[in-house]
């Protein structure tokens, strides 16, 4: 009996005690591209997400998510910390989302390619930030309001010294705090009976060209339709993006069609993607046709891929 009690006491000191609920998830994706100019295998998502959450004694819920993104060039990580109580949530981190980027992706139905690829990441309204602090309010069911303050880290070019192995100077990029830029943003979204409308706006310090995003979607049974317009895309004056997507869920997968264009007043790039996906449990297979026309050249790609989510 003494040995049993001693073992129990020792276990209590050795075994870790976790108050938070910890989960691990992620996905891995590979695809093959075949066109007149490209025939190659490539990587899509390679993510591992570790998340933990718990409710504190005062009723405030706290959660943290650490996402590790892999690629051929290495591994990058992003994290976000969220505190929420009732209809109010505060988030901060390099994986926190700027308000204008929260309620978009209404037209993003293609598994690969599509308007996201042609528009230089249309899921971010052309705005990529490095760190964000944001507050989200949900005063009534279906209504979400969000405001955020983000930072875009600046990079300064610095010339290196010549060496005996290299005849010229090396140029490197280094983060310079004084070149960092603030971005303030707000967004609103309302959903009811399968219909969702959203609007977002962002202002960059020292730039008069505010970026805006307006989106609409409707989901009825197996059918989905999404449409969005982005003005001053990436804070570029007169650069507009228009995207639309339609999908049909046939039970074992989806058939999808996506189209969009980027117009800066001088050049216009049009994209069309259509195809079908098939799911076997957590494995998703897809094949699609992706066409990109910039007015000078037309790239017609066939893309086939496989993705596993866990």
Mean pLDDT of the chain: 84
Task: Tell me: pLDDT of 77 over 70.
Answer: yes
Task: Tell me: pLDDT of 9 over 70.
Answer: no
Q: How confident is the model at residue 75 (pLDDT cuts 50, 70, 90)?
A: low
Mean pLDDT of 120-135: 72
* Residue whose C-alpha is closest to residue 246's, from 238, 257, 260, 234: 257
Q: Where are the domains of the chain?
A: 22-161+169-309
- pTM assigned to the model: 0.80
pLDDT of residue 196: 97
206: left (phi over 0), alpha (psi -120 to 50) or beta: left
Q: How confident is the model at residue 209 (pLDDT cuts 50, 70, 90)?
A: confident
Name which residue leads in pLDDT, 127 or 233.
233
CATH class label, 22-161+169-309: mainly beta
Name which residue leads in pLDDT, 153 or 103.
103
**Considering only 3-12, 18-27, 72-81, which range has the smallest mean pLDDT?**
3-12
* Residue whose C-alpha is closest to residue 245's, from 275, 268, 265: 275
């Amino acid at each position: 009996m003494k040995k049993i009690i001693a073992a129990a006491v020792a276990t209590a000191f050795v075994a870790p005690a976790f108050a938070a609920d910890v989960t691990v998830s992620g996905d891995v994706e590979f695809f093959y591209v075949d066109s007149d100019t490209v025939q190659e295998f490539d990587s899509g998502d390679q993510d591992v997400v570790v998340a933990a959450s718990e409710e504190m004694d005062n009723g405030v819920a706290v959660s943290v998510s650490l996402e590790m993104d892999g690629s051929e060039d290495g591994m990058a990580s992003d994290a976000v910390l969220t505190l929420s109580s009732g209809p109010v949530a505060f988030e901060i981190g390099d994986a926190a989302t700027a308000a204008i980027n929260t309620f978009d992706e209404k037209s993003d139905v293609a598994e690969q390619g599509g308007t996201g690829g042609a528009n230089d990441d249309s899921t971010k309204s052309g705005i990529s930030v490095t760190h964000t602090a944001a507050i989200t309010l949900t005063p009534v069911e279906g209504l979400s309001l969000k405001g955020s303050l983000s930072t875009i880290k600046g990079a300064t070019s610095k010339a290196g010294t010549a060496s005996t192995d290299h005849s010229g100077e090396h140029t490197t990029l280094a983060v310079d705090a004084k070149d960092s830029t603030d971005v303030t943003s707000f967004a609103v979204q309302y959903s009811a009976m399968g219909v969702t409308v959203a609007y977002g706006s962002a202002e960059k310090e020292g730039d008069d060209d505010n970026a805006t995003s307006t989106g609409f979607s409707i989901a009825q049974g197996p059918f989905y339709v999404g449409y969005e317009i982005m003005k001053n895309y990436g804070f570029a004056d007169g650069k507009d993006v228009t995207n639309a997507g339609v999908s049909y869920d046939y039970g074992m997968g989806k058939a999808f069609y996506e189209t969009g264009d980027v117009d800066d007043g001088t050049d216009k790039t049009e994209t069309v993607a259509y195809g079908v996906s098939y799911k076997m449990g957590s494995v998703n297979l897809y094949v699609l046709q992706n066409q990109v026309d910039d007015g000078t050249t037309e790239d017609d790609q066939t893309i086939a891929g496989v993705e596993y989510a866990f």
